[in-house]
Amino acid sequence: MYVLLIFIAAQLSPILFIAPTLSYFQGQGMDRDAAAAATSGWLIFLTMGIGFIITLLVIFRDKRFFDIWKGTKSSLLMSIVWGFLGFLLLLIGQSIAALIEMNLLGIEPGSENTASLVNIAEAVPLAIVSIVLFGPILEELVFRRVLFGSLNQTTNFFFATAISALVFALIHFDFTHLLLYFTTGLILAFLYQKTKRIITPIIAHICLNGYVMLIQLNMDKILEFQKQMENLQ
């Protein structure tokens, strides 16, 4: 419950500081769009960073926080290996989900949530730390350990996975691509169930966010490289 409340506070607390922070950046001579991006970037970095530190302090005081599984956990090495394999599963799963969205549902590829985060990262590079590190760790602790883990003990794997994946999709406020986020949640829950170690979905999630940021922030260079290769051919 404490972990869940900390996560909610980290998500909502920036609202309290938007107006004064925006005014500060505008006072520095920034136009409204640039000031808004800087405001979002710094608030994401600070609130998620503080939430991350407080969450770690809370969970490490409870030695039984991660002891929710019956049976033997995978070794640390295999859990790490499954984390990187899980990253590949996420890429495959998201590709299939995107094809279904485009061909069957008529939804164009591209996420407004991702585009917004890229703009924020370009304005405040420190925000990348929250997007790639703080965010994935907090989300796995909340959605896989707290939500999925708790429901899995009282219901069954499929129900717990469905609920945690659905909430994971809704929390990103990108309702057009619910299938994409739902698929991601399903795969991450599977990884947690497979190894019984939270480090596995955390690694997969960090790799996914890092990969997306790397691609999106260097899209101009990638397109230029593709154009050069086409010219050579």
**Catalytic positions:** 139, 172
Q: How many helices (H) and strands (E) does the chain have?
A: 12, 0
Residue 226: CB atoms within 10 A of its CB come to 10
Q: How far apart are CA 148 and CA 141, in angstroms?
A: 10
Q: How far apart are CA 5 and CA 27, in angstroms?
A: 34
Q: How far apart are CA 185 and CA 144, in angstroms?
A: 9
Contact 133, 55 (CB under 8 A): no
Q: How far apart are CA 97 and CA 182, in angstroms?
A: 9
Q: End-to-end alpha-carbon separation of the chain, Å? A: 58
Closest alpha carbon to 168 in 211, 200, 194, 136: 136
Contact 107, 176 (CB under 8 A): yes
Distances (CA, A) of 46 to 43, 78, 129, 183: 5, 33, 10, 29
- Greatest C-alpha distance within the chain: 60
Q: How far apart are CA 97 and CA 107, in angstroms?
A: 11
